Structure 1
Amino acid sequence: MNLTEHEKWLINFYKQRNWYQYSPFIRLNYLSEETGELSRAIRAIEIGRDHPGDKQLSSIKKRDNLQEELADILDQLLIFCSKYNIDPNCLLSASENKLKKRFPE
């Protein structure tokens, strides 16, 4: 599955559950929540967590959690793209063009 196919699938999935209707302003809160979860996943990998309520995870489980949180953030970004009618594939070239302009070789 590529980015465009996943975006279409995701939008359909969200619409079936009445999640798509939320405004971008509300959706931004979901992105913030997912960013916090990504932060926790990276912390677990990089410096660990010394919390009595957390069970110790293997390196594989930590990496799986990191991948899951990155995917959750990607999904939120794809919903933003849909809400604002932006082709997510254009983000790749927009990023590259901005960096090339800012840091010419």
Structure 2
Amino acid sequence: MDLKTHQDWLVHFYKQRQWYQYSPFIRLNFLTEEVGEVSRAIRAFEIGRDHPGDPKMTAPELTANLKEELADVLDQVLIMSRQYEIEPEELLRASEAKLQARFKSTGRD
């Protein structure tokens, strides 16, 4: 599956549940929430969590949780990019162009 196909599926899924109509400003709050969940997943993975309400997780469970949270962040970015009519591939090209331009003169390749 590619990003565009997933984005199309995701928009359809969100529209069916009346989740798509939220403004990008509100969606930014959802993205922030998801980034916090990535932070928590990485903390659990790297240093653990010593909280009585959190069950102990195995390494595969920690990895699965991190994948889930990273996917949630990606989904929020894909929804916002669709709301601004920016294709996912444009995001990838913009990222590469920015980094190549920024580090071109440093001799790093």
- TM-score, structure 1 as length reference: 0.98
Residue 41 of structure 1, CA deviation: 0.2
Distance 1:53 1:5 in 2: 38
Residue 103 of structure 1, CA deviation: 0.5
Residue 90 of structure 1, CA deviation: 1.1
- TM-score, structure 2 as length reference: 0.94
Please name the residue that 1:64 is paired with: 64
Identity %: 62
Please name the residue that 2:98 is paired with: 98
Q: Which runs of structure 2 are paired with 1:18-97 in the superposition (5 Å)?
A: 18-97=18-97
5+ long unaligned stretches in structure 2: none
Please name the residue that 1:17 is paired with: 17
> What one-letter code is carried by the residue in structure 1 that aligns with 2:99?
L
- Residues 17-58 of structure 1, C-alpha deviation per residue, up to 9 Å, x if partnerless? 000000000000000110110000000011100011111000
Residue 71 of structure 1, CA deviation: 0.3
Distance 1:36 1:90 in 2: 26
Distance 1:49 1:10 in 2: 32
Matched positions, count: 105
